[in-house]
Structure 1
């Protein structure tokens, strides 16, 4: 493989492989330093970005970051690419592709941008994102339209959905119900009512599914439930007749990373097919939900590419989107700050990663959401999550995740509160999913302008929902 070079201020920088060009061109983050693949200076980063800008997009069809023969994610992506979808930009370099995207975004040409999705490799999306400023990521992400549906329709313009996350450290039914009620009364839950179970027990998974399903069914709430158990646990719940709306799994960007999660593509095939056969949706049949996050492959020691070179964490994150795309999911979200400062050190890196992930996911055709969160030993605070949330709302993010009071008492990290979702909708003039908005109006939980009503504990709406939850 011929080395690629760039000369800046009289110094020549050499990049022996595509893997190294991609890594060195990445905006700074602690995970790449940990992996030993980060640029050693801003000058080297600019040199790598210069080289990257001049690479033809076809480079990513001819050269792999992770080898075809040894990695089933690479095979899945390349074997299912739509050559016709790539045709409008196939002759471009990465730099020219950036300009093409920004021009189409400025013109509001959603169809042109969205039409590329099935023709792009994850590495192409990652490459062009590395040449963009934050505002560029927002501008193009806003124009990449991805609409999905199950009982609610997600991804429509002017909408911001939310996952209601009623986690409890012991999966206590009363505690889960209290959080569920709190979220519904604040207009959250149109993307999904999704619980991270404290244990991976099939019996507990079924109990939580039945709890949520009882509330959804009794009050005809146009949303979907999900207990975020391992896919094998969900399969066992399906075998026992559990009311499964969505099959969930965390996925990574390499075969080794997915094996670290205990999954294979064949297992995902089986689970998605089994869930779809239930036909529980009313407005669509998107039945899968995937979570990702920068650094997951590195944390599993599954981050090496061609020649044994470490691949940067953002490129590997995009490859996880290649896995998710194959299953036409209802929901995908990156958990942007959950792993910790070893991978995303501070607010600057978390904000950048959140915008990158949203942009790349949408460009690849995913209904992309973000868990705007952070661990308490990271240099991030609620002002930073406010910033990222509003930027994501402006960028057309499909959904965000919310918990009571911003504090996830089971996962022990900070996320958004139900009130934060209301603020983003109000400031940016966004609404919930249309079916859920109509339900809120029917339940008299919002006023004529769509604002959530101030409710007392004895309000009839609250009493009715509490009775249902009991």
Structure 2
């Protein structure tokens, strides 16, 4: 079915729903690269007007692409007509108005009635302030050893990566993050190699670190899901299972993963029963451009494909989901403005669909972005109620070679906004004198020496 709208003196024609969504998307380099972007600001505005007048029910009647696809099948199976009923008569534009006026409880009640395509569509006709205002009202709370997503909190993923998977380097870096209050989301290591032996070694290191300091945190080695399954079968102490996911079967195949693999991994991790306050055992990572980079986008714009990945995420018991918003590079998000917009879109769409969203506030060194752009995005996301962010020493990941947030940035954010860590982790920080009862860092530089713990011994 084709769509059209007159803007100014021009009648703009959009051949199908996929084209309309692409043309209505705020400008970004990935859609230009794919030949999907609007050719002018006028065409984009016309598409946004046309999209705003489109009934939400259209997305239940018209598929974006015809190829067999298990993510599309999953989206159809997830849709709950009863949950959709309160907004079933609305257009996309009217849905925006409904979201701005609704309570968090009302929005949460419709999450299984909203498809990813509906979420993507309404985000395309919203300003950044709209995305913040609506996402702020939605809380998605999950738990393992810490409770992540509670009102008034923001958690940190402590990312102690090493370019050589050096155990002592990982341990020292992890402790560096702990003394700045990062780690309540997860202490998560991206391994430089994806071998099972290396995976198990790092998993045991992180678990030894946890037990040595009596840390109420979860750990994760961000290896491939098949590596995690094999490691669990060999007795590795696995808390969370990680996998990068995308919005189509073809794109997921590019990651070497299927929905059945994810189900198998979740069942294996839950059987270990390692959580204390919850058993949400999955950790997924996404990012705009992933489907296009693997030629699994089927002609759909990158933001809509990103939102479809959240249908995969919400099918599992996730503690954490985050978009690595600027990680793929300027081919997909060219500059700070595009990265900021994409981060707010991803967070809003994920929360709207009931996903426990975090964001890796990041960029590559060849993007037209800098740390000031990341400061803007970080504080916007904090205002929007983001569950967690990722922090590394000095904001510079020496293994993945990209720029993220520093541990200091998380501490500064909490100090200026009054947001607190996850309660279980905050109690540990206060008990060790790392933070004061009012949540501020004490500057206790001698903290480690009072613990009676040798990092070289842990790393052996």
Q: TM-score, normalised by structure 2?
A: 0.98
Post-superposition Cα deviations, 1:266-319, rounded to whole Å, max 9, x if no partner, equal 111111111111111111111100000000000001111xxxxx1100000000
Partner of 1:276: 270
Post-superposition Cα deviations, 1:151-193, rounded to whole Å, max 9, x if no partner, equal 1001111000000000000000111011011011111000000
Partner of 2:360: 371
1:185, 1:462 within 8 Å by CA — same for their partners in 2?
A: no
Distance 1:98 1:136 in 2: 8
Post-superposition Cα deviations, 1:178-226, rounded to whole Å, max 9, x if no partner, equal 1011011111000000000000011010010001101212332111010
Matches within 5 A, 1:38-437: 38-67=37-66, 70-104=68-102, 109-304=103-298, 310-437=299-426
Residues 468 and 392 of structure 1: CA distance in aligned 2, closer, same or farther (over 3 Å): farther
1:214, 1:468 within 8 Å by CA — same for their partners in 2?
A: no
Which 10-residue stretch deviates more, 453-462 or 332-341? 453-462
Matches within 5 A, 1:437-456: 437-456=426-445
Distance 1:465 1:347 in 2: 42
2:171, 2:209 within 8 Å by CA — same for their partners in 1?
A: no
Post-superposition Cα deviations, 1:36-85, rounded to whole Å, max 9, x if no partner, equal 01000111001101111111111111111133x61100001111222222
Residues 364 and 175 of structure 1: CA distance in aligned 2, closer, same or farther (over 3 Å): same
Distance 1:407 1:243 in 2: 28
Distance 2:427 2:449 in 1: 18
Residues 21 and 458 of structure 1: CA distance in aligned 2, closer, same or farther (over 3 Å): closer
Which 10-residue stretch deviates more, 189-198 or 113-122? 113-122
Structure 2 counterpart SS, 1:277 = helix
Distance 2:445 2:180 in 1: 12
Structure 1 counterpart SS, 2:318 = coil
Shift of the alpha carbon at 1:10?
1.5
- The answer as to 2:28 corresponding to 1:29 is yes
Distance 1:444 1:422 in 2: 15
Q: Which runs of 4 or more aligned residues in structure 1 lie more than 3 Å from their structure 2 counterparts after TM superposition?
A: 457-470
Partner of 1:307: none
Post-superposition Cα deviations, 1:231-254, rounded to whole Å, max 9, x if no partner, equal 000011011000011111000101
1:152, 1:434 within 8 Å by CA — same for their partners in 2?
A: yes
**Cα RMSD (Å) of the superposition?**
1.3
Distance 1:272 1:370 in 2: 22
1:166, 1:180 within 8 Å by CA — same for their partners in 2?
A: yes
Shift of the alpha carbon at 1:16?
1.1
Residues 198 and 16 of structure 1: CA distance in aligned 2, closer, same or farther (over 3 Å): same
Shift of the alpha carbon at 1:457?
4.5
The gaps in structure 2 that reach 5 residues or longer are none
Structure 2 counterpart SS, 1:7 = strand
Residues 458 and 398 of structure 1: CA distance in aligned 2, closer, same or farther (over 3 Å): closer
Shift of the alpha carbon at 1:449?
1.5
Structure 1 counterpart SS, 2:334 = coil
Structure 1 counterpart SS, 2:390 = strand
Partner of 1:5: 4
Distance 1:100 1:345 in 2: 32
Distance 1:135 1:51 in 2: 22
2:3, 2:14 within 8 Å by CA — same for their partners in 1?
A: yes
Distance 2:312 2:302 in 1: 16
Q: TM-score, normalised by structure 1?
A: 0.96
1:181, 1:466 within 8 Å by CA — same for their partners in 2?
A: no
Shift of the alpha carbon at 1:467?
7.7
